[in-house]
Structure 1
Amino acid sequence: MLYYLFRVLDQFGIPGSHMWAYISFRSLLALILSLVISAWFGEKFIKFLKRKQITETQRDKSIDPFGVKKIGVPSMGGVIIIVAILVPVILLGRMRNIYLILMIVTTLWLGLIGGLDDYIKIFRRNKEGLPGRFKIIGQVGLGLIVGIVLYLSPDAVIRENIVMKKQQSSELVIKHNSEQVKSLKTTIPFVKSHNLDYSSIMSFCGKYKDAAGWILFVIMTVIVVTAVSNGANLNDGMDGMCAGNSAIIGVALGIFAYVSSHIEFASYLNIMYIPGSQELVVFIFAFVGAMIGFLWYNAYPAQIFMGDTGSLTIGGIIGVCAIIIHKELMLPILCGIFFVESLSVIMQVWFYKAGKRRGIKQRIFKRTPIHDTFRTQNCQLDPDCKYLIKTPRYPFHESKITVRFWIVTIILAALTIITLKMR
């Protein structure tokens, strides 16, 4: 809203109003505003939750060998994150931008699903929360909305990057088509001068390959949204873990969104130019600010937990943003921590069920998601169960595990950015 106000004031020559045209100014202002909102609103919200006794009651008391008490800590802290994101975005963003609208819809949609889950856990005293099938239906529904909107919207276009040789020279230069087109292409890490075209994968469909390519794109959108959202949800198991990792991932996505919206940077990095994606930078800066601001209260020892209200929303935001800027194939690297967390749970469940069919009680890890393995003492293990991996032998403190996971995410984020020049 303020963007449009100051653009009007600029026409009357009001000093300083021209600053609102700069994406860097609005992005940094969104970062500062989201931090302030997180700090101010967070304190008020925590007091409100404690007064209403909306606190955590289902935590496993046996898992922490250092005796940290998590019972009685307020939950549903994702509300702080959502408010800290949406207020700056609505004030500072260009609300006619289709990408910004999709990100706002994503935030509200998954925030509602996560909120329902937390409501059932806290108020209904049902530790299972919202049944998993309803979460999946909600995530799949969001993926379908995002994929179909990107297919139908005339504003969701790109200018493709093309590698050309200079005349009378072997030097390569990157040019972008002057025509803005709908595209099924996405960036592939480590592959020089190539984008993956979903329609080319479906070439066996003959003259229907473009339509089949869009169907594949929508399916990929559903998979990405669901996978990243669930991965973030599993990663939310230690104080500050998910918020810190997500802030780092957000910085990398903000860089990708900015260079994709700048034709000179896009040419230098040999990636497609995406007009309008600069508004995602405002959203991502607000997202990063909200994550850092939430850490003020969520860092060890946590004064509030984000709950599914926050974790599902965070994962959805990351997945949808990557889809919009055509960088979804880089998520396995960028969100490597989320991927490993999910994979550890899948492997543990599969291995346990395989043993159960043979009458054997067995597990791969001491606990899953994988971060719980590092804080579990061997004396806490089931003596009747066979464990393939019992390391580490002694538990690490929760804060040490969290910071080390942050460091790994920093390395993965740097590697993801470097892949643009490693092709």
Structure 2
Amino acid sequence: MFYWLIELTNTFPSLSVFRGLLNVFRYITFRTGGAVVTGALFVFLFGPWIIDHLRLRQGKGQPIRTDGPQSHIISKKGTPTMGGLMILSGLVVSTVLWANPLNPYVWIVLAVTLGFGFVGFYDDYLKVTKQSHSGFAGRARLLIEAAIALVACYALVRLGRDPSSTGLAIPFFKDLVIKFGWLYVLFGAFVIVGAGNAVNLTDGLDGLAIVPVMIASASFGLIAYLAGNAVFSDYLQIHYVAGTGELAVLCGAVLGAGLGFLWFNAPPASIFMGDTGSLALGGMLGSIAIAVKHEIVLAVIGGLFVLEAVSVIVQVASFKLTGKRIFRMAPIHHHFEQLGWTEPQIVIRFWIISVMLALVGLSTLKLR
């Protein structure tokens, strides 16, 4: 919306004196900074009201799994969930205000984010109303997520209008691209659904998921800005995707809203993100990675999410095949709880890992 302020100087000649000042709204970097501040302020200001409203509506709060760490039954009982509504509201308001409303990439990624957020919201709603950790049927949930992801990937491929839009770029190589053709739509949908559920599995301790999401968002904000700039993408020899630079504004909105949410989610959490937030944010990261053609880099920068998801897959497969468990408890953050690590130790150490993985992922932009 603010992007159009410069047009006022053309419509109203008397405002031409402000043309130089209003021209800053054309710059992605300025609007990204504005999105960070707006997202954070929105959640800071309206967060307490949202928390009080959710606590009143939910009563007993999020049901705690009886087969999980026993300490959670005592320390986390009664904490409201659906905190993702705080993040999504701040994200949407900030993006609408600061992003270019004519950019289709922004709307596609927002559609995926809100679509996955709605699926997560329904799952949280069922858990809270039934006071059971069993929410939305897993197979039905995956089918809806897949449908959203398929439509989004098809739209992104059509937007690309370039042979590289259906190819998979390999990091550390200049021109190595694996061509999928239209099968890329299926691959892209897998990336989006996988990212959504990987972040969902990571959300198990206070502050554990939101900071790695913020780190990944900041990283992909930079990647989107570079990939959407013809000069920078040519210099770095990465695929130029016209229009994706605007996604940096959306990533800034996530960063700001995430900072606001962390204020309330820091141990001991006043509210949980819930599937409402984790599915939405994971789907957002997956769709941005597809848009900017850095799918493999997402697996690196989001390596913590991959580790959490793989730990669950390995645990389930091992138990079904051999009757034995690889980890004391899955996802893997619970394994470390069982080993005696305190919750702050796990969370902060996982944050450190996320920062290191982000640096490795960003290094792929130059090491080619």
TM-score class, shorter-chain normalisation, is over 0.9
Given the superposition, is the C-alpha separation of residues 131 and 67 from structure 1 closer, same or farther in structure 2, using an over 3 Å criterion?
closer
Q: Does 1:7 align with 2:6?
A: yes
Letter of the 1:7 partner, please give it.
Answer: I
**Is residue 10–residue 18 contact of structure 1 (8 Å, CA) maintained in 2?**
no
Q: Does 1:263 align with 2:230?
A: yes
Report the counterpart of residue 367 of structure 1 in structure 2. 329
Compute the displacement of 1:37 (Å). 0.8
Compute the displacement of 1:68 (Å). 5.6
Measured in 1, the distance between the counterparts of 2:68 and 2:230 equals 54
Measured in 1, the distance between the counterparts of 2:47 and 2:217 equals 21
Please give the residue correspondences for 1:84-233 in structure 2 after superposition, counting only pairs within 5 Å.
Answer: 84-153=90-159, 156-157=160-161, 183-191=165-173, 193-199=174-180, 213-214=181-182, 216-233=183-200
Question: 5+ unaligned residues in a row in structure 2: which ranges?
Answer: none
Please give the residue correspondences for 1:21-420 in structure 2 after superposition, counting only pairs within 5 Å.
Answer: 21-54=26-59, 55-60=61-66, 63=69, 65=71, 69-153=75-159, 156-157=160-161, 183-191=165-173, 193-199=174-180, 213-214=181-182, 216-356=183-323, 362-376=324-338, 392=339, 395-420=340-365
Given the superposition, is the C-alpha separation of residues 182 and 270 from structure 1 closer, same or farther in structure 2, using an over 3 Å criterion?
closer
**Is residue 59–residue 71 contact of structure 1 (8 Å, CA) maintained in 2?**
no
**Is residue 66–residue 73 contact of structure 2 (8 Å, CA) maintained in 1?**
no
Given the superposition, is the C-alpha separation of residues 8 and 421 from structure 1 closer, same or farther in structure 2, using an over 3 Å criterion?
closer
**Is residue 64–residue 73 contact of structure 2 (8 Å, CA) maintained in 1?**
no
More displaced 10-residue stretch of structure 1: 276-285 or 50-59: 50-59
Measured in 1, the distance between the counterparts of 2:304 and 2:131 equals 30
TM-score, normalised with respect to structure 1? 0.82
**Is residue 58–residue 128 contact of structure 2 (8 Å, CA) maintained in 1?**
no
| 1:293-329 C-alpha deviation (Å, 9 max, x unpaired) | 1100001110000100000001000000000000012
Compute the displacement of 1:422 (Å). 2.2
Measured in 2, the distance between the counterparts of 1:225 and 1:92 equals 25
Which SS does the other structure have where 1:241 is aligned?
Answer: coil
Which SS does the other structure have where 1:250 is aligned?
Answer: helix
**Is residue 157–residue 275 contact of structure 1 (8 Å, CA) maintained in 2?**
no
Measured in 2, the distance between the counterparts of 1:62 and 1:126 equals 13
Measured in 2, the distance between the counterparts of 1:125 and 1:68 equals 16
Measured in 2, the distance between the counterparts of 1:286 and 1:224 equals 22
Measured in 2, the distance between the counterparts of 1:68 and 1:422 equals 49
Measured in 2, the distance between the counterparts of 1:265 and 1:64 equals 51
Letter of the 1:196 partner, please give it.
Answer: V
Report the counterpart of residue 165 of structure 1 in structure 2. none
Measured in 1, the distance between the counterparts of 2:71 and 2:78 equals 18
Measured in 1, the distance between the counterparts of 2:42 and 2:355 equals 26
Report the counterpart of residue 206 of structure 1 in structure 2. none
Compute the displacement of 1:62 (Å). 6.2
Compute the displacement of 1:182 (Å). 6.7
Compute the displacement of 1:352 (Å). 0.8
**Runs of 4+ residues deviating >6 angstroms:** none
RMSD: 1.8
Compute the displacement of 1:103 (Å). 1.2
TM-score, normalised with respect to structure 2? 0.94
Given the superposition, is the C-alpha separation of residues 45 and 398 from structure 1 closer, same or farther in structure 2, using an over 3 Å criterion?
same
* Matched residues, number: 361
Which SS does the other structure have where 2:58 is aligned?
Answer: coil
Given the superposition, is the C-alpha separation of residues 66 and 79 from structure 1 closer, same or farther in structure 2, using an over 3 Å criterion?
closer
Measured in 1, the distance between the counterparts of 2:73 and 2:282 equals 30
**Is residue 235–residue 242 contact of structure 1 (8 Å, CA) maintained in 2?**
yes
Given the superposition, is the C-alpha separation of residues 354 and 280 from structure 1 closer, same or farther in structure 2, using an over 3 Å criterion?
same
**Is residue 260–residue 325 contact of structure 1 (8 Å, CA) maintained in 2?**
yes
**Is residue 65–residue 133 contact of structure 2 (8 Å, CA) maintained in 1?**
no
**Is residue 185–residue 196 contact of structure 1 (8 Å, CA) maintained in 2?**
yes
Measured in 2, the distance between the counterparts of 1:53 and 1:332 equals 35
Compute the displacement of 1:291 (Å). 1.3
